[in-house]
């Protein structure tokens, strides 16, 4: 089966982390989020994947290459402007030859895609949406299903009293190729805003599957940090790609840890990290390759990107430290983002 990963967006809700890094490359436990998606697709026998590019697209192409590392073949669609999610699929309609899958490049999911595909085929659906229950549906498209799983009502980003469901559209769609005929060419066009309401209006075979599998929109900094906590808690099949040196402590190669330093758990410490005398790496912290925690510093519930440094006698809690950024000495920082000026 073929799939398309939507990776063209700016990711403004994750600003300032996305000023120099496209959102699909934002790391989750030291691996770009889009790589987690590719690995999930590969596990479910998706062999050919189209990725659309726009914002900082060269970084994504250079990072992923041809996909052979994950046993898939990657192709790219470079967009000079944003066409909407459905409009982007229309641009590459010749890529698809049968039932295909569309998925966002900036969410983390752990879906049984093979099961959803089987249901899609059994229902003879034209489009099947994966749905997930959320506490606040106002930021998502919401759907109402009948007892057969058919979508009877859909509304994009409802507000106030019009909220009739908390079953949110995850942006994962299984589609038959004939649906592409309904999408106009050369104009911005959205799944939630345009295509799904059209399918409902024409009484075409639109189905939804409510899944309890893990799914999280990493659209803001709180959700980004929480996603790391979920991985460390084992809430999904994604695992840190380092050796588990003791229970709930994953560590890379060539790590230097002073004998007076404290390592709590769960934590991830990447390759070539240095943790100096009296430093503490506390619970739910993730250090990327080359990160440094200087003497007397404490890192708690925080994410350090590659080559980041927390300098001596500094405490950070619930923070994200960008690539190669140095957090100054003798400070305490909470619930923040620290990036270098060039970002």
291 and 173 in one domain? no
Instruction: Give the pLDDT of residue 341.
Output: 60
Number of domains in the chain: 2
Tell me, what DSSP letter sits at residue 150? B
197 and 271 in one domain? no
N residues, the chain: 343
Considering the domain boundaries, does residue 234 fall inside one? no
Q: In the chain, which ranges are continuous DSSP H helix?
A: 33-43, 57-64, 85-91, 113-122, 196-201, 221-232
148 and 207 in one domain? yes
CATH number of the CATH domain containing 167 = 3.90.550.10
Cα angle, residue 260 at apex, residues 259 and 263 outer, rounded to 5°: 85
Domain range for 30 is: 2-221
259 and 153 in one domain? no
266 and 213 in one domain? no
256 and 187 in one domain? no
Considering the domain boundaries, does residue 232 fall inside one? no
Considering the domain boundaries, does residue 268 fall inside one? yes
Instruction: Give the pLDDT of residue 138.
Output: 87
Q: In which residue ranges of the chain is pLDDT below 50?
A: 343
256 and 166 in one domain? no
Instruction: Give the pLDDT of residue 162.
Output: 83
142: tokens are: 């919401």
Q: Residue 74: in which H helix or E strand, if any?
A: strand 73-78
Instruction: Give the pLDDT of residue 8.
Output: 96
Instruction: Give the pLDDT of residue 342.
Output: 55
CATH number of the CATH domain containing 265 = 2.160.10.10
Instruction: Give the pLDDT of residue 343.
Output: 46
Instruction: Give the pLDDT of residue 57.
Output: 96
Instruction: Give the pLDDT of residue 273.
Output: 98
In 3D, which of 169, 208, 184, 168 has the Cα closest to residue 84?
184
Tell me, what DSSP letter sits at residue 184? P
Instruction: Give the pLDDT of residue 146.
Output: 97
| Share in percent of the chain as helix, strand, coil (round to 5) | 25, 30, 45
145 and 60 in one domain? yes
135 and 22 in one domain? yes
Considering the domain boundaries, does residue 305 fall inside one? yes
Considering the domain boundaries, does residue 160 fall inside one? yes
């Amino acid at each position: 089966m073929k799939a398309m990963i939507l990776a063209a967006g700016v990711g403004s809700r994750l600003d300032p982390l996305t000023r120099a890094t496209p959102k699909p490359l934002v790391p989750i436990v030291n691996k770009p989020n889009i790589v987690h998606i590719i690995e999930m697709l590969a596990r479910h026998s998706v062999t050919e994947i189209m990725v659309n590019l726009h914002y900082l697209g060269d970084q994504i192409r250079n990072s992923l290459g041809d996909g052979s590392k994950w046993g898939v073949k990657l192709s790219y669609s470079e967009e000079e402007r944003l066409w909407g999610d459905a409009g982007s699929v229309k641009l590459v309609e010749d890529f698809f030859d049968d039932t295909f899958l569309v998925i966002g490049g900036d969410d983390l999911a752990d879906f049984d895609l093979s099961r959803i595909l089987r249901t899609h085929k059994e229902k003879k659906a034209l489009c099947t949406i994966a749905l997930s229950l959320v506490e606040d549906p106002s930021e998502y498209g919401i759907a109402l299903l009948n007892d057969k799983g058919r979508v009877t009502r859909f509304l994009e980003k409802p507000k106030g009293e019009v909220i009739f469901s908390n079953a949110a559209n995850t942006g994962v769609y299984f589609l038959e190729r004939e649906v592409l005929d309904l999408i106009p060419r050369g104009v911005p066009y959205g799944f939630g805003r345009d295509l799904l309401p059209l399918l409902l209006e024409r009484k075409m075979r639109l189905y939804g599957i409510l899944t309890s599998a893990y799914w999280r929109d990493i659209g803001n900094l709180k959700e980004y940090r929480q996603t790391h906590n979920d991985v460390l808690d084992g809430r999904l099949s994604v695992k840190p790609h380092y050796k588990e040196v003791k229970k709930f402590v994953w560590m890379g190669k060539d790590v230097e840890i002073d004998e007076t330093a404290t390592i709590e758990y769960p934590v991830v410490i990447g390759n070539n990290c240095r943790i100096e005398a009296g430093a503490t790496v506390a619970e739910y912290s993730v250090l990327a390759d080359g990160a440094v925690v200087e003497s007397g510093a404490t890192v708690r519930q925080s994410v350090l990107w590659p080559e980041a440094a927390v300098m001596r006698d500094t405490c950070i809690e619930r923070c994200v430290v960008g690539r190669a950024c140095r957090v100054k000495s003798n400070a305490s920082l909470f619930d923040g983002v620290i990036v270098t000026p060039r970002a």
